[in-house]
Amino acid sequence: MDLSRRSLLQAAGAAAGLVGLAPGLANAGTVLPADAPTPPRGPGEGQGPFRKLVIRGVNLIVGADGEVRGPVDVVVRGNRIDQIIPAGQPSRALPADRPPHDAEHEIDATGMWMMPGLVDEHSHTGTGGTPRTYAYKLWLGHGVTTVRGVSLAKNPDAVSDKERSERNEIVAPRIVNYQTPGSGWEEGPIDSPDKARRWVAWAARNGVDGIKFFGEGPYGRPEIEAAIRAAQQSGLGTTMHHSPPIYPQLNALETAQLGLGTITHFYGHFEALLKEGREHPKPPDYDYSNEASRWRAVAEVIDYTFPPGSPQWRSYLSRQLDNGVTFGPTFGVYLAGRDLLRARGLEWHPRFVLPSLWNFWEPSPEAHGSFYYDWNSEDEASWKRFYVQYLQLVHDYKEMGGRIAGGTDPGYIYNLYGFANINELEMLREAGLTALEAIEAMSSATARTIAEPTGRAPEYGAVKEGFIADLAITAHNPLEDLKTLYGTGTPRLDAETGDIVRTGGVQWTIRNGVVYDAKRLLADVAEMVQAQKSQGACGDVDPDWSMSGPCGGSPGVGVAPPAKPAQRAAPLP
């Protein structure tokens, strides 16, 4: 198979035609295109759903209204939470023989923590030739049970996986299928309001749940306005990445006034806060088609905007609150802008990143998001200043009562599926949300955002009786340390031995009533990485330049360390 860097970058930002390994077939060296059908759920991949599942003695993060309870016994019938029963006093031993006694399956989670499965408002698959099942297992391995694809894959593939996931036929989270205007149909680009309305009608008939707008042609304000109104009438949601070419026509305030549901990323916010004009000045050598030039200029916008706390700043947020728009900040995907070495050196890269994906990420003027080939300390200082104001914007909107939804935009810029969700929780914490608020942003808040266009209340995103059993169970309290949710865990000192040990990670993810061993899912991913390496995927990677990745010198977190000697050498006299 051709895993050369040239082949991986021929279609920048697209995954069609690239190759990755299929789970379960990795040992046979079988490869599949990234857009091949997702393999069926195999023997041993999850248990259930059950007639009655009882989860015993768990502490409960409800995921809504700031509620934390426990210990409780959670009873699940099929794919629904049937009862949440107090199990005893937190400081006392729990009664051993407490009802119910007729469970088909039990999980002893005494002293552990349960929270709702995470809900991601901004997801993709396929970058760098990765099969969808690779992303699905990384998501489920981190307790992510719903993803809003914007888009996740081509419409027929997204619709198929969405339906198969609901029937528990594949190992995958719930899929909410958003598509870009014009995608999937055969009537050409959306270049008129009439075509925008007709495409929305087509989308509603063909399994599309919502629309992801960009700010790059052929459609502009008239088409976006027509599509938003048609989507509202059809029960479809809307979200927008305000690409800079749209700024002469629309900023984030104006699209929200048109009825947009979610503003994703930072684009458009600061353009609505400019002291003058619709765009901030660019240097003479600025070239929008050059991504390094584009991203370098992005962070400079704050030099031309009204500052945090100003009347204009407060007015902007107040007007957005009146519009009822959701902010989806996706903080984590742009962290390489402020600290490239940290983003490239994250400890899970060696074990869990497919070499083909790493190749796609590495600096290149050809691959979307790989803009840091000439990135320098001045660029990072500029982005650090920008992040301060962006974090403040999100914090202030939350304080006003605005809704913040958790999203990751994974697959780009060293932002790995699943791991990115925990990183985003940490970034929301950095923005001033509490750990509990961060979890709620990436559970019930996102679930409400997804459900609102349909006119129905969400059925997931919180641990409540009657809700779908989409749950994550971990041994550690994430409200004390969100890092314990990473699949690689986090280091802790063993006071008895003096050793540093790894602890944490999600233990069980329950999706639609099916119980998955989250650590086994991550082990499957690690096997996929090793299998792709064995196929020669590292042959085009410079190990000196890419030593942080799967083809470099580190074996990665989770690889067993060398055995320690039975006895330490005596100290020298």
pLDDT given for residue 490 in this prediction: 95
Lowest-pLDDT choice from 171-175, 361-365, 515-519, 529-533: 361-365
pLDDT given for residue 89 in this prediction: 79
Binned at pLDDT 50, 70 and 90, residue 55 comes out as very high
Long-range contacts of 284-289 (CB under 8 A, 24+ apart): 288/244, 288/245
How far apart, in whole angstroms, are the C-alpha atoms of residue 28 and residue 435?
43
Average pLDDT for 65-94:
92
CB 181 within 8 A of CB 196: yes
Whether the per-residue pLDDT at 12 is higher than 90: the answer is no
Higher pLDDT, 341 or 542: 341
Binned at pLDDT 50, 70 and 90, residue 553 comes out as low
Higher pLDDT, 60 or 363: 60
| Cα-Cα-Cα-Cα dihedral sign, residues 157, 159, 160, 165 | positive
Q: Which residue's structure tokens are 């857009």?
A: 35
Give tens-digit pLDDT for 296-319.
Answer: 999 999 999 999 999 999 999 999
Torsion of CA 304, 308, 314, 317, to 10 degrees: 80
Q: pLDDT exceeding 90 applies to what percent of the chain?
A: 78
Binned at pLDDT 50, 70 and 90, residue 543 comes out as low
Whether the per-residue pLDDT at 5 is higher than 80: the answer is no
Work out the number of other CB atoms within 10 angstroms of the CB of residue 309.
Answer: 10
Average pLDDT over the chain reads 90
pLDDT given for residue 32 in this prediction: 54
Report helix, strand and coil shares of the chain as percent, to nearest 5: 35, 20, 45
DSSP secondary structure of 57-94: EEEEE-SSTT-EEEEEEEEEEETEEEEEEE-S-TTSPP
| Cα-Cα-Cα-Cα dihedral sign, residues 163, 167, 168, 169 | negative
Lowest-pLDDT choice from 20-34, 334-348, 484-498: 20-34
**Tokens, residue 120:** 């991601």
pLDDT given for residue 454 in this prediction: 97
pLDDT given for residue 400 in this prediction: 98
How far apart, in whole angstroms, are the C-alpha atoms of residue 238 and residue 20?
31
- Strand-pairing partners, residue 492, are 501
Give tens-digit pLDDT for 180-202.
Answer: 999 999 999 999 999 999 999 99
Whether the per-residue pLDDT at 30 is higher than 90: the answer is no
Whether the per-residue pLDDT at 160 is higher than 60: the answer is yes
Average pLDDT for 440-447:
98
